[in-house]
C-alpha cells in the first residue's frame, strides 16, 4: 500500500525557524512545530536569489526569499531535476520537505514551478496574513565539502556567492523593505555601488558598513540598493558583512 504524502502547508519562510525541529523514527516524517501544527512539507512562494549546480550534476542548490526571510533548497542525485528550471530572479512556487542538518534548517525539493503572474504575491499575502519576523533557527551556513546527503558541499568563493544568499540578504535587509525603492532611487545622481565595492575591496571583500558610508546615502536606502545588486547577481558576499563584485 502506497504511503500517503504529507500535506504541503503554505507558510512564510520566517515561520520555519519559529518552532523546534522534531526527528521521528521509522517512516514517520520529521517536522517543524508551527502554531501547534506538525509541518513536514511546505509550499513557499518566493524569488530565487541564488542557485548552484555541481559540475557532475549530482548536487543543486537554490536560495529562496519570500520577503520574510531566506532559506536554502538543497537537492541531491535525481532530485536535482526538481529544481533544474529555476533561475535567479524568477518568482516560483516551491513545494518540498523541511530538513535540518548541523543546525541548518533547509528544504528538500519536490518541485519548483515558475509563477508568471506577480498578482499571486498579493493573493499569497492575503491568505497567509502579515509575515512574522524571522526567528534565527540556524547557525552560519555550513562550509560545503562533499555532495552527499549527509554532508554539505564545498565550493569556491563564487559558488558560495550563488548558494549562500541567506546570509547576504539577512545581513543587509533586516530593517529595509524592497518595495520602498522609488523613482528617486534610480536617479542618475546615485553612486555606483559596484565601483565603490571594487574600490574598497582589499582582497577579501569590502565591508558593508564602509560601502554604505562611502555611498553618502541614508543607511536604509543604501541597503536597498545593495540587496538589489545581490539579487541581480552583480555582487556577492564571500564572508558575512563583506561584499565582492562578480
Count Cβ atoms within 10 A of the Cβ of residue 22 and give its class: 0-12 exposed, 13-18 middle, 19 or more buried.
middle
Q: Quick one: pLDDT at residue 244?
A: 86
Each residue's pLDDT, cut to its tens digit, for the chain (246 residues) gives: 445 567 889 999 999 988 899 998 888 899 999 988 999 999 999 999 999 998 888 999 999 999 899 999 999 999 999 999 999 999 999 999 999 988 889 999 999 999 988 888 888 888 888 777 665 444 333 333 334 433 333 333 334 444 444 444 444 544 444 444 444 444 456 889 989 999 999 888 899 889 999 998 888 788 878 877 876 777 877 776 788 887
Q: What is the pLDDT of residues 121-169, one digit of tens each?
A: 888 888 888 777 665 444 333 333 334 433 333 333 334 444 444 444 4
| Chain centroid offset of residue 167 CA | 8
User: Domain 175-245 has what CATH class?
Assistant: mainly alpha
DSSP class of 239: S
CATH topology for 8-155 is: OB fold (Dihydrolipoamide Acetyltransferase, E2P) (2.40.50)
92 neighbors 110 (Cβ within 8 angstroms): no
Q: Quick one: pLDDT at residue 226?
A: 84
Task: Indicate the pairing of strand 104-114 with strand 235-236.
Answer: unpaired
Q: Quick one: pLDDT at residue 151?
A: 37
Q: Quick one: pLDDT at residue 64?
A: 95
End-to-end CA distance of the chain: 51
Closest CA to 96 of 5, 2, 1, 231: 5
Q: Quick one: pLDDT at residue 228?
A: 76
Q: Quick one: pLDDT at residue 222?
A: 84
Neighbours of 113 (CB within 10 A): 12
Say which residue the cell 536606502 belongs to: 221
Q: Quick one: pLDDT at residue 135?
A: 54
Q: Is 71 helix (H, G, I), strand (E, B) or coil?
A: strand
Say which residue the cell 540587496 belongs to: 227
pTM of the predicted structure, to 2 decimals: 0.55
Annotated domain spans of the chain: 8-155, 175-245
Q: Quick one: pLDDT at residue 134?
A: 61
Question: Can you tell me the distance from the alpha carbon of 118 to that of 173, in angstroms, rounded to the nearest whole number?
Answer: 22
Amino acid at each position: 500500500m502506497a504511503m500517503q504524502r504529507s500535506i504541503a502547508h503554505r507558510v512564510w519562510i520566517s515561520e520555519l525557524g519559529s518552532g523546534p525541529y522534531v526527528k521521528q523514527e521509522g517512516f514517520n516524517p520529521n517536522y517543524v512545530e508551527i502554531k501547534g501544527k506538525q509541518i513536514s512539507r511546505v509550499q513557499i512562494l518566493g524569488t530565487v536569489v541564488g542557485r548552484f549546480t555541481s559540475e557532475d550534476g549530482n548536487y543543486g542548490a537554490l536560495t529562496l526569499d519570500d520577503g520574510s526571510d531566506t532559506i536554502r533548497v538543497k537537492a541531491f542525485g535525481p532530485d536535482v531535476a526538481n529544481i533544474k528550471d529555476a533561475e535567479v530572479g524568477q518568482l516560483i512556487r516551491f513545494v518540498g520537505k523541511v530538513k535540518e542538518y548541523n543546525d541548518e534548517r533547509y528544504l528538500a525539493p519536490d518541485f519548483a514551478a515558475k509563477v508568471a503572474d506577480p498578482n499571486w504575491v498579493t493573493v499569497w499575502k492575503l491568505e497567509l496574513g502579515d509575515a512574522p519576523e524571522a526567528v534565527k533557527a540556524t547557525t552560519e551556513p555550513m562550509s560545503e565539502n562533499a555532495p552527499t546527503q549527509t554532508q554539505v558541499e564545498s565550493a569556491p568563493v563564487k559558488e558560495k556567492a550563488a548558494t549562500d544568499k541567506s546570509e547576504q540578504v539577512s545581513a543587509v535587509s533586516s530593517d529595509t523593505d524592497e518595495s520602498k525603492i522609488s523613482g528617486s532611487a534610480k536617479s542618475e545622481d546615485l553612486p555606483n555601488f559596484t565601483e565603490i565595492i571594487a574600490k574598497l575591496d582589499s582582497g577579501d571583500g569590502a565591508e558593508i558598513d564602509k560601502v554604505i558610508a562611502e555611498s553618502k546615502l541614508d543607511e536604509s536606502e543604501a541597503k536597498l540598493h545593495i540587496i538589489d545588486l545581490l539579487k541581480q547577481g552583480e555582487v556577492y558576499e564571500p564572508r558575512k558583512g563583506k561584499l565582492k563584485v562578480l
